[in-house]
Amino acid sequence: MANSLVFFTDIMTEIPHLLRIQTPLTFLYGPLLYFIILSYHQKNTFIKKDAIHLLPFLIIILSLIPIYLMSGNEKYGYLQTMINSGHIDSIIYGLLRRMHILFYLLMSLGVIKNIKTNRQTVIYIWISFLGIWLISMYRFIFDFDLSSVYLDMIYINCVVIYLAFVITADVKPKQSPKAEEKKELKIIMEKINSYLIENEGLKDNLLSISTLQKELKIADYKISRAINFNTGKHFFDYINQIRVNKAKEILKARPKMRIEDIAFEVGYNSISVFNTAFKKVVHMSPREFRKLSTSENR
């Protein structure tokens, strides 16, 4: 996308040291898309090992160091060759970028289709995105020109617009449930709490609405509706609340138990995520809470 701009405006020929500056950035599109979707549906999910998603970005930077170290004249010559006849590395980077985007497109689809109510509609929309990607790939392979870049731009814009609708859809005001529905939502809530606490479903660090749907045989939108109606919270905020409350009980009852072990006991797979969630609810760290509880009991 950035290449098309500089080609048509001659910016690159005037400032050759901009050559390939934008190339590594295109390998951030996919991870950003994926983690925006993931963070919206699963609060506090980013952990240290997720930094591996930045590896392609870093590898591309390393591979481009020889080009970055070229003189201005060398970069100008490289640019002219790239415009007139193409470079093999342009083809390689273009192919890698498209495969990279496809990978994260499919990963993002995997997250959304397990949460949105109308899965069929979601799948149709993402198949359309895939169609744009395939056309872009075809143009890139069989008719290598800037038109494939425009298709990339269309694809990115479509995804962003779709995400805007997905995110705002859940914040639209809902109608107040009728008496019969209220009764049903309370029954569903009892089943949810029974599974989470009595059956220790809370310990599952991969717990999601789709998990409850499978275990309770209740539609995911009803689960979400029941939690929102009975607690005023969204799913992951409610789960964090219960987990933190359980952690508070353990911190008081078992003063010798390691905080890391408590985090895993209540369903967190990372101590940093646990600390963040705990502070959000209690406004102090688990260690500070334990210290305060111990001093009060003396």
User: Tens of pLDDT along 47-94?
Assistant: 677 889 999 999 999 998 988 888 888 887 777 777 666 667 777 887
Q: What is the DSSP string of 71-115?
A: -HHHHHHHHHHHHHT--HHHHHHHHHHHHHHHHHHHHHHHHHHTT
Segment 119-178, tens digit of pLDDT:
555 555 666 666 666 656 555 555 545 555 555 556 566 666 665 555 555 444 455 667
- What one-character DSSP code corresponds to residue 172? S
Q: Which two tokens stand for residue 258?
A: 């390691």
Q: What is the mean pLDDT of residues 219-238?
A: 87
Percentages helix, strand, coil for the chain, rounded to the nearest 5? Answer: 80, 0, 20
Give the helix/strand (H/E) hosting 62. helix 55-68
Task: Evaluate if pTM is beyond 0.85.
Answer: no
Q: Which residues contact 240 (CB under 8 A, 6 or more apart)?
A: 43, 44, 277, 280, 281
**Per-residue model confidence (pLDDT) at position 106:** 77
Q: What is the mean pLDDT of residues 240-261?
A: 91
Burial of residue 150 (CB within 10 Å: 0-12, 13-18, 19+) is middle
Q: Does residue 201 register a pLDDT over 50? A: yes
The label of the residue with tokens 């689960």 reads 223
**Per-residue model confidence (pLDDT) at position 187:** 93
Could you tell me the pLDDT band of residue 26, with boundaries at 50, 70 and 90?
Answer: confident
* Residue 97 amino acid letter: R
Could you tell me the pLDDT band of residue 115, with boundaries at 50, 70 and 90?
Answer: low
**Per-residue model confidence (pLDDT) at position 247:** 92
Residue bearing the bigger pLDDT, 276 or 298: 276
Weakest mean pLDDT among 24-28, 161-165, 177-181, 205-209: 161-165
Q: Does residue 15 register a pLDDT over 80? A: no
Residue bearing the bigger pLDDT, 249 or 76: 249
Percentage of the chain beyond pLDDT 90 is 15
Domain positions in the chain? 2-169, 177-232, 240-298
Across all residues in the chain, what is the average pLDDT? 76
Q: What is the mean pLDDT of residues 260-270?
A: 90
**Per-residue model confidence (pLDDT) at position 32:** 81
**Per-residue model confidence (pLDDT) at position 42:** 57
Q: What is the mean pLDDT of residues 230-247?
A: 89
Percentage of the chain beyond pLDDT 70 is 66
Segment 88-105, tens digit of pLDDT:
777 788 788 878 887 887
Q: Does residue 205 register a pLDDT over 90? A: no
Q: What region does 174 belong to: left with phi over 0, alpha with psi -120 to 50, or beta? A: beta
Looking at the domain 240-298, which fold is it? Arc Repressor Mutant, subunit A (1.10.10)
Q: Which two tokens stand for residue 252?
A: 């008081």
**Per-residue model confidence (pLDDT) at position 186:** 92
